[in-house]
Amino acid sequence: MVAARTDNEILPPQSLMQVPAVRQLGIMLGIAASVAIGVAVVLWSQTPNYALLYSSMAEKEVSEVLDSLNKLNIDYKIDAASGSVLVPAGKLDELRLKLAGQGLPRGGGIGFELLEKESSFGTSQLVEQARYQRAIEGEIARSITSIQNVRSARIHLALPKQSAFVRKRKKASASVFVNLYSGRGLEKGQVEAIVHLVASSVPQLESSNVTLVDQSGRLLSSESGSSDVLLTSKQFDYKQQVENHLIDRIETILTPLVGSSGMRAQVTADIDFTITERTQDSYNPEMPSLRSEQTEEQLSQTSSVQGVPGALSNQPPAAGVAPETATTEGAVAGDSQPLNSTKRATRNFELDKTITHTRLASGEIGRLSVAVVIDDQHLLGQDGNATQKAYTEEELMRMTSLVKQAVGFDVVRGDVVTVSNISFKMPEVLEALPELEIWEQGWFWDVVKQALGGLVVLFLIFGVLRPTLRSLMKPVEIKTISDAGEGVDVDGQKALPAGAEGGMSSASGEAGEEEILMLDSPSGYEKRVEFAQKMVDDDPKRVAQVVKTWVSTDG
């Protein structure tokens, strides 16, 4: 008796054409939507965050910046609302440095370009004058922004109208507003340079009428304009220069001996800024010389007429007779009348005269006070540990002598030089500055976007597409019924006819084959192999018989 057989036929996976049309359309739409979402997420994750490059730029400057970005192959965006340029946040600082090296943005507003605009026939003189003044302000602002620490500048000029009929004219004035870079400032010399630059650019504008203000509202220029204050400031700067020069000379001569970190030096210089002028006239009495001489001689003769005044006494004297002999006293001999002689001589002598005008130089050193502190010697011991050793008195004396020679020590001035050996304190370890949090870094959000995009893509692949394809490609198992009419139960096992025991035939070959077919069909190749190995281990004779039956049947 041959038992009935049940054949389990496993068909290949379903094809898309075997699926209903509605389901096909749903599957196609789902796959397309998943792919579109995945592509959009990938593009979104790869798009960097954009940050503002510069604000408040003129259109010409924007075009120059965009040309530079194109040359650097940098992606950028333009904000439709404000017209600002946006660049990737991770490259913001680098791009600003590169553009600053190219002198961009230039800033300073518009200069003499205003004068190039065509003027209409109805343009008034007031408009032309205002345009000219605005051009001057723009040009001066451009010059100021060329200074290293100035980001931008604005100039306001107050130029009163000049008239030949006004006796007392008003003076021009100017206000300068500078916007400095963050963390930077202007030195006194730079402030004075800006003030003098503005004053020299505008006619009849004095430096005292120029006001300089920064973005914090601080007045950088001095309102007083006093020459005494300015002179005091320069004197203080000169004093500092002298002291720093002497400190450098001390460090230069002692650094090879004690090291750059093994000494500290300070110098106090008393500078005399007194200006003294002296004029001196000196004469040399030993070298006289006759400059001029004047001699005067006067001779007079006394009259012998006496008596009462009248006609007789007023008669002229008789005619004179030359004397035959003359006396040494100058008196006339005989009865001649006496003569009076007077001589005067005036002589002017010129002495050797020297006029000396002396102006003593200011800024002379009146006194020096020098203090030098030297650290102990740091020696390496035999055990490899560092030790400290103080300098001897002889070494300190030699260092003191070197310092005196370096600063120009003068006992007459009362200079003081002190060199001390004191062990320095070890510097405290400073805590490192706190670093920015990881979410504050420019690259953090780019990484987050890429990670989210990857997760969404993985979810679409393994959570949507893969289950859909697996359900579509799932194999279909068809079970047939043999000719004998035996049925198949729900579990896939063959139902036995009534009165049969074990469902096996009398023939051993057919019984082994029927027993294999009656068992559950393994779902995979590995399970089939495992099932066959188990059968071989349990009953090798029966398996051999089954194989012989297959060979004889198929052969």
Q: For residue range 384-435, list pLDDT tens digits in order.
A: 777 888 899 999 999 999 999 999 999 999 999 999 999 887 666 556 667 7
Q: Are 172 and 203 in contact (CB under 8 A)?
A: yes
Q: Are 242 and 271 in contact (CB under 8 A)?
A: yes
Exposed e or buried b per residue across 252-282, where buried means at least 16 C-beta atoms within 10 angstroms of its C-beta: eebeeebeeebbebebebebeeeeeeeeeee
Mean pLDDT in residue range 365-380: 90
**Which residue type, as a one-letter code, is found at position 506?**
S
Name the least confident of 207-211, 490-494, 523-527, 542-546.
Answer: 490-494
φ and ψ at 387, to 5 degrees? -125, 160
Instruction: Return d(Cα 547, Cα 293) in angstroms, integer.
Output: 172
Using a pLDDT cut of 90, give the percent of the chain over it. Answer: 16
Beta bridge mates, 355: 281
225, two tokens: 């304009």
Name the least confident of 370-374, 395-399, 463-467.
Answer: 463-467
Q: Work out the number of other CB atoms within 10 angstroms of the CB of residue 518.
A: 18
- What is this structure's pTM? 0.41
Q: Are 225 and 207 in contact (CB under 8 A)?
A: yes
Q: Are 403 and 250 in contact (CB under 8 A)?
A: yes
Beta bridge mates, 479: 8
Residue 294, pLDDT > 80, answer yes
φ and ψ at 64, to 5 degrees? -65, -40
Pairing of strands 172-180, 205-214: parallel
Helix axis angle, 393-407 to 227-258, nearest 10°? 140
The 3-class secondary structure across 274-322, one letter per residue, is: CCEEEEEEEEEEEEEEEEEEEEEEEEEECCCCCCCCCCCCCCCCCCCCC
What is the pLDDT, as a whole number, of residue 450?
79
What is the pLDDT, as a whole number, of residue 111?
65
The winner for highest mean pLDDT among 65-74, 432-441, 509-518, 524-533 is 65-74
Instruction: Return d(Cα 38, Cα 44) in angstroms, integer.
Output: 10
Average pLDDT, the chain: 75
Q: Please report which helix (H) or strand (E) contains residue 360, including its range.
A: strand 339-360
Handedness of CA 47, 50, 53, 58 (dihedral sign): positive
Beta bridge mates, 359: 277
Instruction: Return d(Cα 307, Cα 315) in angstroms, integer.
Output: 12
Q: Rounded to 5 degrees, what angle do the CA atoms 70, 72, 78 make?
A: 45
What is the pLDDT, as a whole number, of residue 18?
60
Mean pLDDT in residue range 102-129: 68
What is the pLDDT, as a whole number, of residue 425?
76
